[in-house]
Amino acid sequence: MKANIHHKSGSFTIDLSKPIDISISLRGDEKNPIAWYLGTPRIEPVRYGDFIGKVSLGASTNFNDISFNPHGHATHTECVGHITPEFHSINDNLKKFFFLAKLISVEPEVRGEDKVITRAQLEKLIDKGEAEALVIRTLPNTIAKRSKHYSHTNWPYLEEAAARYIRECGVEHLLVDLPSVDREKDEGKLLAHKAFWNYPKNTRFEATITELVYVPVKVEDGGYFLNLQPASFENDAAPCKPVLYKIEK
């Protein structure tokens, strides 16, 4: 099923029958990715009285409660409300869901004990005005990312200047395969978040950050269209299933 898209940057063709799902599914066990010092998410049948919401135990339906944290357990999309004292909902701030995107792969630079994605690296991989959304795949890229426990690992992150450059390129939607664009233990500075959202002086309320994606090795760097649709949560962040569609040449 082909779609011809007329965009301000030109005309493009994509095949809607070939979606590339870059989300990580939520599981109720230790194979789920975990960050921010949380335990595992829970997916359990409802229990009250003699009722257990599980068909194999005699119920007419499977009827589960799910307990999880979007930021620490799942592919999620967040708005600036993640860092503001005022409440801002991702459900209110994101009103468009289809974007011209670019996928790039970056091996973070080693700086002492840190691994950092730098502005100099990004300047070689994306130009200003090239895309509305940017997906960053960090190298090395292994399937272990789908179940990694990130707490206390000092994961790679974006330097402030790199996040500022992404903003200067006109990117409104940033996607990374990390639990955060910032350093795990940064004393609450959140420099990359603030630089990307241009907070607090000229805040980009429409801009979003999506974290904990996974882009398979076989997916090539280059141009795509991104379908970004978080679940309808009235919260700063919501679980999300970002889907890429390769732009045909």
196 φ, ψ to 5°?
-65, -45
**pLDDT at position 249, please?**
72
**pLDDT at position 11, please?**
94
Q: What contacts 24+ positions apart, CB below 8 Å, involve 95-99? A: 95/206, 97/227, 97/228, 97/229, 98/225, 98/226, 98/227, 98/228, 99/131, 99/132, 99/133, 99/172, 99/173, 99/225, 99/226, 99/228
Whether residue 33 is preceded by a cis peptide bond, meaning omega within 30 degrees of 0, is no
Instruction: Tell me the pLDDT of the chain (249 aa) as tens digits.
Output: 999 999 998 999 999 999 999 999 999 999 999 999 999 999 999 999 999 999 999 999 999 999 999 999 999 999 999 999 999 999 999 999 999 999 999 999 999 999 999 999 999 999 999 999 999 999 999 999 999 999 999 999 999 999 999 999 999 999 999 999 999 999 999 999 999 999 999 999 999 999 999 999 999 999 999 999 999 999 999 999 999 999 997
Q: Whole-angstrom Cα distance, residue 243 to residue 27?
A: 19
**Cβ-based neighbour number of residue 168 at 10 Å:** 12
Can you name the residues that pair with 106 across neighbouring β-strands? Answer: 138
